[in-house]
Structure 1
Amino acid sequence: MAMTVEENELLTRVENGAPMGEMIRQHYWIPAVPSAKLEADGAPVLVRLLGRNYVAFRTTDGKAGVIDELCPHRKTSMMMARNEHNGLRCIFHGWKVNVEGQVVEAPNQVGDQAQFCKRVKTSQYRVEDRGGIIWVWLGKGDTPPRFPDLPFTQLPADQRSVTSVEVPTNWVQGVEASMDSSHVGVLHESTTQITAGGGNERMHMTKALAPRLEFEERPYGYRYAALRDLPDDKIYARVNNFVMPWYGIICAPDANSPSTVFFSTPVDDVTHRAWFVHFNPTRKLGMTVMSATPDVWNFPPLPPGTREQSFGQNRDLMRRGHATGFHQHLGTEDFAMFLGQGPIADRTTEQLCSADGAVLRVRAQLLKSAREFMAGKTPTLADNPDLDYSRAISIGGVLPAGTDWRVLTESA
């Protein structure tokens, strides 16, 4: 069933006090910047989240901080601040803010400077540096929500890679794609062939395009199996997890290969940051199409053209057999689809099919959480007593026909 205008607004909007944005702000840790992007005493990095601007920085002693972009004194940008001696010093009047967001020096204040600094009101945000990502909690109060200790957050650096890029569309378009199994064999047909090779299990998705979907509710969201019939009385089962509010944990293409977590965090109503975490829980990651990135803050590449140019689609390459004409990266193919939907997708005139069950569940869980928040409640999926993010493990495999796919998940 297509959504109403009101439902689509509630689902997508995050700015200016919108309920979805305020729910996320209060009840979830937000990925802000890849850890590798911040250098001790290096340049601050502008981070825009939920329609507001912040700066992230790493202090002399290696700690990471996130503060409001504007100096609390005369409101100029701390992007231009000097990063020195464990704090950011505004170049306008010399006020210095530490990693906790407190003003610790105000050199143009006459009298007891220390007492004056204690009276300056600033927003102070909790920060965690885990899994190659700087995370921030932007909510109010003394007790932050449970940290999303996903399967990659405790791995050593050589078993994971983190990249991200800003995409000029609403965040939900990216979240939906992470749980849309039926697009993989179509949109990513050539990418799968290039990266997987002919003998990889993932190639089954390019041959059986209409999977049967089976679902199981979980304390963090849900997991589902996309089941594809194969010859010789077998099925290919891919069990993936959706973790509120935006994590799509995708199973490895075969045993001992890396898994991927895709997530799309809201920059503002019409912009999101697409994140790609590639990780191998059993051994070093090595060089992959995800880890071989020239820039952890701007990768994978966006489509190279405008709407009038079909976003830079290469039709000559398509004539030579490429499925989409976007050869740059799997992510580039997805971004082209998001751009084609417009800045905020219109879900009121969709005509959906059996393959869209996982997408519908993403929407339903997000809307349920926003409505619970609007009713003054803590969203169920944000504070379930059985919530254990580490159990969101995705897995796939070829099974005899008639086998319950849950045999793959017995240890998860």
Structure 2
Amino acid sequence: MPMTQQDNDRLTRVEHGAPMGQMIRQWHWLPAVPSLSLEAGGAPIRVRLLGDNYVVFRSDDGRVACFDEQCPHRKASLAVARNEDNALTCLFHGWKFSVTGEMIEAPNHTGDQVSFCQKVKFNSYKIREAGGIVWVWLGEGETPPAFPELPFTALPEDQRAVACQEIPTNWVQGVEASMDTSHVGVLHSSSTELTSGKSQRMHMTKVRAPRLEFEEMPYGFRYAALRPLGEDEQYVRVNNFVMPWYGIICPPEEGGPGTVFFSVPVDDTHHRAWFVHFNTSRPLGVTPFTIGSDLMDFPPLPPGDETNNWGQDRGVMARGHFSGFPQHFGTEDFAIFLGQGPIVDRTTEQLCSADGAVLRVRNLLLRAAEQHENSKPAPSAEELKYAEIRSVGGIILEEQDWRVLVDGE
């Protein structure tokens, strides 16, 4: 049954006090910038989240802070502030804000500066640096929600790689794609062949209509995509959705690298797509994500716009590439998002058996927004059980339950 316009708006909108944005703001840590993008004493980075603007910077001594972008005085941008003495100094009038979140100087004010600075309302936000990412909590109160201890957040630097890209479309389009297993064997068929070689992922291009089985989990759900191979065997991929936007995707082979995709709302019509490649057992080595020159501008966006089909290369398609976007599998996804429009109209879509995970994502998000509206507190760390997250793939007998791969049952 198609979604109503009211539910589509509730699902996608995050600005101006929208229920979804308010739930995310209060209940979740948001990834802001890759850690390696911040230089001690270097330029602050402007970050837009949930329709509001912030700056993130690393002080001379290595600490990280997040402030509202605009100086509380005359609203000059702190993105161009001086970063020195473990503080940001506004270029306009010299108001100075410590990395610890206090205003410490107002040189153009006569009288008792200490007392004046203490009275100025200035917003500084709680920060956590983990997994190669600087995370920020934008909610109200002193106690943040449980931090998402995902499979990569505690790994050493050489076992994970982080990159991200801003896309001019709504965030839910990216989240849905991370849980859409059937598109991999179609849209990414050439990318899968190029990057996976003879790995088990090749089975996804041969069996394009997997059977899906689901299991609700405290943090969201996990689901198995089962593809029959003949000779009484089946290829199984068990992936996890972790609220509100994490798609944790299984490695192509045992001991190989896994991937986490997440799409974070910049505003109603833009999102930042994050990619974390990681290996829990050994150094990652060279991957497309470890050699990118700009961690906030990778994978590449499609090279065109709607006037030229977003730069699709029909010549390379004629030579065997399926999508015509050979730059990266992420570029293929971005082209689809752009073609869907800034916010997908879900009121006229016609779904099929492959869309079960997408529907569950939508339902979980809408339910959480409703619960927050009804003043339900955020789930506790004990309830969420992040440590139970495990995404795996493998070949098992047809009569075996897929949970044997995950739980050894």
TM-score normalised according to structure 1 size: 0.98
Hey, what does 2:295 align to over in structure 1?
Answer: 296
State the Cα deviation string for residues 55-101 of structure 1 (Å, max 9, x = none): 00000110111100001111100011000010100011111112233
Q: Which residue of 1 aligns with 2:228?
A: 229
Structure 1 counterpart SS, 2:362: helix
Deviations 1:128-149 (A, max 9, x none): 0111000000000011000011
Per-residue deviation at 1:116?
1.6
Task: Name the SS of the counterpart of 1:347 in structure 2.
Answer: coil
SS in 1 for 2:338: helix
The structural deviation recorded for 1:309 is 0.6
When residues 377 and 69 of structure 1 are mapped into structure 2, their CA distance, relative to the original with a 3 A threshold, is same
Q: Which residue of 2 aligns with 1:262?
A: 261
**1-structure distance, mates of 2:377, 2:354:** 31
Q: Map of 1:82-231 to 2, 5 A cutoff?
A: 82-197=82-197, 199-231=198-230
Partner of 1:79: 79
Indicate conservation of the 8 Å contact 1:81/1:88, yes or no.
Answer: yes
Q: 1:386 aligns with which of 376, 383, 388?
A: 383
Structure 1 letter corresponding to 2:147: F
Contact 1:266 1:273 in 2 (8 A): yes
- Gapped runs of 5+ residues in structure 2? none
Query: Which residue matches 2:399?
Result: 402
Alignment-mate amino acid for residue 210 of structure 1: A
Q: Distance in 2 between matches of 1:183 and 1:20?
A: 27
> What is the one-letter code of the residue matched to 1:73?
H
Partners of 1:368 and 1:201 in 2: CA distance: 35
Residue aligning to 2:12: 12
Partner Cα distance (2:151, 2:384) in 1: 14
State the 1:289 CA deviation.
Answer: 2.2
One-letter code aligned to 1:45: I
RMSD across aligned positions (CA) = 1.1
* CA–CA separation in structure 2 for the residues paired with 1:93 and 1:38: 25
After TM superposition, give the deviation of residue 46 of structure 1 in Å. 0.4
SS in 2 for 1:386: helix
* Aligned equivalent of 1:364: 363
* CA shift for structure 1 position 390: 2.8
Gaps of 5+ in 1: none
> Is the contact between residue 263 and residue 271 of structure 2 (CA under 8 Å) also seen in structure 1?
yes
CA contact (8 A) 1:57 1:64 kept: yes
Instruction: Judge which range, 356-365 or 96-105, deviates more.
Output: 96-105
User: Is the Cα contact below 8 Å between 2:35 and 2:134 reproduced in 1?
Assistant: yes
Question: Is 1:58 the equivalent of 2:69?
Answer: no
Q: 1:411 offset after TM fit, Å? A: 6.5
How far off is 1:323 after superposition?
0.6
Give the direction of change, closer, same or farther, for the CA distance of 1:411–1:61 in structure 2 (3 Å limit).
farther
Letter in 1 for 2:117: C
Give the Cα separation in 2 of the matches to 1:354 and 1:127: 41
Q: Report the 3-state secondary structure (helix = DSSP H, G, I; strand = E; otherwise coil) of the residue aligned with 1:393.
A: coil
3-state DSSP class of the match of 1:399?
strand
Q: Secondary structure at the match of 2:263?
A: strand
Q: Aligned pairs, how many?
A: 409
**Percent identity over paired residues:** 62
Cα distance between partner residues in 1 of 2:340 and 2:387:
33
